[in-house]
Amino acid sequence: MTTDPLRIVIFGAGSVGCYLGGRLLSAGADVVMVGRPRLQAVLQHTPLVVTDYLGFRAGCQLAEHRYVTSADVAAGADLILVTVKSAATREAGEQLAPWVAKGTPVVSLQNGISNAAQLQSAMPGATVLAGMVPFNVLQQQPGHFHQGTEGHLMAQRHPALEAALPWFEKAGIPLEPRDDIESVMWSKLLLNLNNPINALSCVPLLEELSQRDYRRCLAMAQRETLRLLKTAGIPTVKLTGLPMALIPPLMASPDWLFSRLARKMLTIDPVARSSMWEDLQAGRPTEIDWINGEVMKLAEKLGQQAPVNRKLVELVHHCEQEPRSWSARELFDTLRQAV
């Protein structure tokens, strides 16, 4: 590894951005996070602590220049990671554009399918690459960000990323270059279809996945999406212990069988929840239009329907206005009636 620290700017440093920043700082990288004044104020008085479900823990009191609110720190960066919510992608690109040097690698680590393309159109001189964060991060306490589920980072393969890879490895968050990033993103989205179900359930992920009717809701949304992907000729890739096509049958299986077959999948911190649940609790708009909404867009492009995913979009948008929780049976019956 080079002895010179890699200068990394993380733009949109909320839960995911702060977690990645804390891990990279622990490896000695030169990290600057750009985020909202509210979180900046918290981190001026509270240490940044990052932990994971395997027992990793690191923390430090950030110097003032490590968390800022202006995009001008992107000037001279070796690597930029974009972790804003999908609704803010265009704005993020416009803010970064004046400061990003030609050829600078910019990795979109966001939910959804089209964010990298939006960033590239706003920053035509940058090398924008699609990426993927497979794990869940929750802010447990002010300044404390916790990875509650397994997985490793992935990004579109490009020579501009080579110098950064050893730093991610040293930080314990390996970044895998991929030649099939579109398939990776759609496969990740298939797993993210659980986000609205977890948000509507209002229970931790482990508790939700332990109830068959919640899992059957997920299986319905996944089967619908897999049919559309097959029609569109978009292959999926294996991101868990099973091929993606086998995950819906596993989800729909009885509790006793699921608990035996999905032991690794259930290696989840008991407090872990989806970011969509966190958004609903905080009264923020969710990313539902960039998760299940992406399935609806694909269906429309193919001249088909996606009634299960459409209903989940409708339910989450309703909860953005009037919060409520759904029991497993109630949610399953509602989705089944939508088909």
pLDDT above 90 covers what percent of the chain?
A: 87
Q: What is the length of the chain? A: 339
C-alpha to C-alpha distance for 124 and 70, rounded to whole angstroms = 21
Strand order in the sheet with 153-156: 67-68, 30-34, 7-11, 79-82, 105-108, 127-132, 153-156, 175-178
Asked whether the predicted pLDDT for residue 205 surpasses 50, the reply is yes
Question: 184-338, what's its fold?
Answer: N-(1-d-carboxylethyl)-l-norvaline Dehydrogenase; domain 2 (1.10.1040)
- 150 pLDDT tier (thresholds 50, 70, 90): confident
Q: Please, which residues bridge with residue 32 across strands?
A: 9
- 234 pLDDT tier (thresholds 50, 70, 90): very high
- Per the model's pLDDT, the better-predicted residue between 206 and 3 turns out to be 206
Looking at residue 170, what is its pLDDT? 96
**pLDDT tens digits, residue range 273-284?**
888 999 999 999
Asked whether the predicted pLDDT for residue 333 surpasses 70, the reply is yes
| Mean pLDDT computed over 321-325 | 94
Please check whether residue 71 is in contact with residue 33, taking contact to mean a CB–CB distance below 8 angstroms: no
Domain with CATH 1.10.1040.10 in the chain: 184-338
Domain with CATH 3.40.50.720 in the chain: 7-179
For the record, the structure tokens of 257 come out as: 């069988």
C-alpha to C-alpha distance for 173 and 176, rounded to whole angstroms = 10
| Mean pLDDT computed over 222-241 | 95
Asked whether the predicted pLDDT for residue 263 surpasses 90, the reply is no
C-alpha to C-alpha distance for 319 and 166, rounded to whole angstroms = 42
**pLDDT tens digits, residue range 219-229?**
999 999 999 99
- 3 pLDDT tier (thresholds 50, 70, 90): low
Asked whether the predicted pLDDT for residue 124 surpasses 70, the reply is yes
| Mean pLDDT computed over 1-30 | 91
Asked whether the predicted pLDDT for residue 1 surpasses 70, the reply is no
Instruction: Look up the CATH number of domain 7-179.
Output: 3.40.50.720
pLDDT above 70 covers what percent of the chain?
A: 98
In the chain, the N- to C-terminal Cα span, in Å, equals 54
C-alpha pair distances (Å), 165 with each of 6, 66, 102, 131, 154: 10, 21, 20, 13, 11
- 302 pLDDT tier (thresholds 50, 70, 90): very high
Rama region for 283: left / alpha / beta (φ>0; ψ in -120 to 50; rest): left
| Mean pLDDT computed over 44-63 | 95
Asked whether the predicted pLDDT for residue 241 surpasses 90, the reply is no
C-alpha pair distances (Å), 196 with each of 30, 86, 267, 278: 35, 15, 20, 11
